[in-house]
Amino acid sequence: MHRISILICLTLCCFSTFAQDALQGRVIDAQTREAIPGANIQAAKSGCQSDQQGKFSLPAIKAKDSIRISVLGYTPLQMAVNQERNMTIYLEPLPTRLNEVIVSAGRDKQYRTDAPVAISTISTQMIRETKATSLEQLMNKVSGVYMVDLGNEQHTMAIRQPIGYRSLFLYLEDGIPIRTTGDFNHNALIEINMAALKTIEVIRGPASSLYGSEAVGGAVNFITASPTLLPTAKIQAEMSDQGYKRTDFTLSATSGKLGLLVGGYYADQRNGYIDHSDFRKLALTVKAQYKFSDRSTWTNAVSYVDYKTDQTGGVDSANFYSRNYKSFHTFSYRLVKAFRVRSTFEHTWNSRNSTGFTAFFRNNEIGQNPFYAIKTTSDPLKARGEINSDQFNSYGVLVQHKKGFGWKKASLIAGLSMDYSPATYFAEYIDVDRNAEGYFTGYTPTDSVLTDYRAGLLNTAAYVQAEMSPLEHLKLVAALRYDRMDYNFDNHLPPSAFTGSPDERNHFKAWSPKIGLTYDFGRDRGLYANFSVGFAPPNISELYRGVKVPVLKPATYNNYEAGGWFAFAENKGYVDVSVYRMDGANEIVSVRLADNSSENRNAGKTRHSGVEWNLRYAPVPSLLFRTGGTVAKHEFIEYEDKGKQYGGNDMNGAPNLITNTEITYKPSFLKGIRLGMEWQHVGKYYMDPANTEEYGGYELFNARAGYTLGGFECWVNCRNIADVMYATTAEKTAFGKSYRPGPNRTFNVGLAYTFTCKQSKN
């Protein structure tokens, strides 16, 4: 009898084991298809967290039991367990995330509310639903940002600064600058592959304490997508009624420890709204990620961009207001070739120590027959111009270590970086032909060399950032960076006021401190404040080209700001606000000369102050309201030009009010439909330092509609619905007023298909 009882018990145990097998699976981001680590999976009597690869395992789970999956920043999901013992669970990002994870503010993952800076994130969902054909359509959604559309992905930037072309903004890809310090180009974002982006993080205000010089008005970090957990393939094609065509593709998968992503696009523009405005662009990215273990990851990435565009320039008042957007330049062009390689090894030693090592290489060339270099002569049928080429290679390393302490949540981040970039510049004179109607019709190359130099740029830096919480809800952050920039200039021509300065060795150095704090009141409400210093040395072209002796000084900026965030309506919405004042000394300003050329000069003292805000509210799951903007004042404190004093004047090209507002509707009764309406407002601003002429700004309305069914997606976007006449830039020179016309009403239509394997074999 005893043996029979034992046998019955063993049998029941076996049945119980078979009925309650362990449940395994992976938690994946529904937008990016990447793994979500740290997700909480909770059953009635057990629970666990997903690991770095999104994997989890729950013991003794019965079929038809219910589990709940939750993680910060995603919509919680309650679901029944099916018969399969290996599940793939997709989580949707919350549309009103406040405490999202960022990496740019401290060069390491942290919650947004732990960073005492003004920072905004353009999410994967926003990127995918906007269907932007150029980056300013995304960037201008960020409060305090005005990215100026110069046509065909050409651009310039204004973040806590007037519209200008100066080296006051730092552009990064996965935390590494895409160009070397000292060779800034305001069109640098042409070199970004939009098809490979996951998110974009924008720091407003100086970030020099971590990223060094040029991170003055702001730093923009373009974070590329990582390999997907499940094999995924995407192809999309779109076109517009203004001659624009584009094709994107992405292939991504993870097998075992190796993940691979390949993505890119080809864009082509023909016969646009402005004469002589065609362009083409090929952008490719390959990213491989090998996980030796949960503690060690090796990431390699290669980016390549091949771009060519016609150049048009602005139009005068008569042609602008009559919407006659003809271009007198029939042969000017810009050619960009960019190649970047990055290899990063990251290792977590233990719960308190981690190290990252990055080596990178950059090869970049910008060739031009620029319209702005064409000057008229005394002969009405002749003009002069140039063809030039700016090229550099970069060899760099970055080492960073983070150490945590068991006292007051203290941590320390320290890093060293070095970047050696030999650069060359060559320009030759061309003889330009002009017809009786004023069109520049052709040119003849000559053997006259205008500029020919080589400059060795060596940038070395060390930085440290410390954090601690002396009180439960208070966090203090202090950072300090030392930069040294060595320029070795070798002029291959006899020095003159035109060919450039004599051979020179110059160096600039700076200490860039930052101190800040955050205070968390709980319930996603808090305050922050910081003081930071920005530093911008002159570029090699500003310092050496067209001058007898280098005279420019570095520009420095002291920034004071405070702000806060406030979640409301049971976390259905949030608002964050920043107030700042930034004082600049020796700010480098582009001055328009009598012959319509430009020259960079130290502007004495300037002041930039303003308020920035961002509001997101989803009263119901199907409706999202978003608005952001800035009220700002940019003024000359001390500035003299040609004997005239402009102290007390507003800086030219500085809109007093910029806002961007959007409503997105996804009706629950029509699953897969999304409808959106966007309003962009750019306020009035002065066109010249003397404040004699003013441009009234503009209102721009855009609409978007899309439909998704399974892996299929289609969309229609309309830019400038009202077909208003507006200028993205307006300026007054000695030769009159010049306007850069914005696009007419434009319709874009597109189709896309995404294929994702339902299960992984890993």
Q: In this predicted model, what pLDDT tens digit does every residue of 48-69 receive, in sequence order?
A: 888 877 888 877 676 667 888 8
Any idea what DSSP says for residue 195? G
- Among 64-78, 92-106, 180-194, 208-222, the range scoring the smallest mean pLDDT is 92-106
Residue from 89, 86, 80, 88 nearest 62 by CA: 80
Model pLDDT for residues 736-757, shown as the tens digit of each residue: 899 999 999 999 999 999 998 8
- Reported confidence tier of residue 135, pLDDT bands at 50, 70, 90: very high
| Domain match, 666 and 636 both | yes
Domain termination residue (choose one: 166, 195, 220) = 220
Q: Residue 288: inside a domain, yes or no?
A: yes
What CATH number does residue 64 fall under? 2.60.40.1120
Residue 602 lies in a domain: yes
Rounded average pLDDT over 109-132: 88
> For residue range 529-578, what is the model confidence (pLDDT) as tens digits?
999 999 888 888 878 887 766 677 888 999 999 999 998 888 789 899 99
Q: What DSSP string runs through 616-677?
A: EEEEETTEEEEEEEEEEEEEEEE-EETTEE-TTSBPTT--SEEEEEEEEE--TTSTTEEEEE
**Residues 80 and 105 reside in one and the same domain:** no
Q: Is residue 249 part of a domain?
A: no
What span, in angstroms and rounded, lies between the C-alpha atoms of 302 and 615?
37
Residues 408 and 542 in one domain: yes
How far apart (Å, rounded) are the C-alpha atoms in residues 553 and 535? 11
> Could you tell me where the beta strands, DSSP code E, fall in 86-194?
86-91, 101-102, 110-111, 118-122, 145-151, 154-159, 169-173, 176-177
* Residue 44: domain span: 20-91
Least Cα distance to 520 among 471, 487, 569, 478 occurs for: 471
CATH of the domain at 186: 2.170.130.10
Domain boundary among 62, 91, 120: 91
CB contact set of 460 (below 8 Å; sequence gap of 6+): 417, 418, 419, 483, 484
The strand order across the sheet containing 55-58 reads 55-58, 23-29, 86-91
- Of 27-36, 434-443, 659-668, highest mean pLDDT: 659-668
Strand 605-620, strand 525-536: pairing: unpaired
Same domain, 82 and 185: no
CB atoms within 10 A of CB 539: 22
Of 60-64, 295-299, 320-324, which one has max mean pLDDT? 295-299
Cα distance between residue 413 and residue 375, in whole Å:
52
Contact indicator for 417, 356 with CB cutoff of 8 Å: no
In this structure, the answer to whether residues 178 and 269 fall within a common structural domain is no
Q: Which residues contact 648 (CB under 8 A, 6 or more apart)?
A: 635, 636, 637
User: Nearest Cα to 702, choosing from 715, 684, 685?
Assistant: 715
| Domain shared by 668 and 551, yes or no | yes
Q: Which of the listed residues 69, 91, 113 is the one where a domain comes to its end?
A: 91
Lowest mean pLDDT among 440-444, 446-450, 491-495, 497-501: 497-501
Whether residues 85 and 134 share a domain: the answer is no
- 137/162 Cα distance (integer angstroms): 19
| pLDDT over threshold 70, residue 37 | yes
The pTM score is: 0.91
Phi first, then psi: give them for residue 151, nearest 5 degrees.
Answer: 95, 135
Same-domain check for residues 180 and 61: no
**What is the average pLDDT value for the chain, to the nearest integer?**
89
Residues 535 and 669 in one domain: yes
* Residue 31 vs residue 392, higher pLDDT: 392
| Whether the predicted pLDDT of 26 surpasses 50 | yes
- The pLDDT assigned to 14 comes to 43
Q: For the chain, what is the domain count?
A: 3
Q: Is 5 domain-assigned?
A: no
- Phi, then psi, of 577 in degrees rounded to 5: -135, 140
Is the pLDDT confidence value at 346 over 90?
yes
Neighbouring-strand partners of residue 617: 573, 625
- Residue 117 contacts residue 528 (beta carbons within 8 Å): yes
Confidence grade of residue 88 (pLDDT, cut at 50, 70, 90) = confident
| 556 in any annotated domain | yes
| Predicted local confidence at residue 591, as pLDDT | 62
33 vs 188 pLDDT, higher one: 188
User: How far, in Å, are 340, 345, 346 from residue 300 at the CA level?
Assistant: 11, 9, 12
User: How confident is the model at residue 761, as a pLDDT?
Assistant: 47
Let me know if residue 584 belongs to a domain: yes
Residue 126 lies in a domain: yes
Q: Is the pLDDT of residue 195 over 60?
A: yes
pLDDT of residue 602: 74
* Helix, strand, coil percentages, rounded to 5, for the chain: 5, 60, 35
- Is 419 in contact with 395 (CB distance < 8 Å)? yes
Alpha carbon distance 333, 187 (integer Å): 14
156/64 same-domain check = no
- Whether the per-residue pLDDT at 267 is higher than 60: the answer is yes
Tens digits of residue pLDDT in 423-481 = 999 999 999 999 988 899 999 999 899 999 999 999 999 999 999 999 989 999 999 99
Q: Is the pLDDT of residue 595 over 70?
A: no
Say yes or no: 135 and 203 in one domain.
Answer: yes
The Cα 479–Cα 461 span in angstroms is 13
Flag whether 560 is in a domain.
Answer: yes
pLDDT value of residue 478: 95
Residue 301 has pLDDT above 50, yes or no: yes
**Which CATH number goes with the domain that contains 400?**
2.40.170.20
Return the amino acid letter for 41.
Answer: I
pLDDT category of residue 334 using cuts at 50, 70 and 90: very high
Alpha helices, DSSP H only, in 604-742? none
Q: Could you tell me if 474 and 623 lie in one domain?
A: yes
Give the rounded distance of the alpha carbon of 112 from its chain centre.
17
Closest CA to 309 of 150, 157, 179: 150
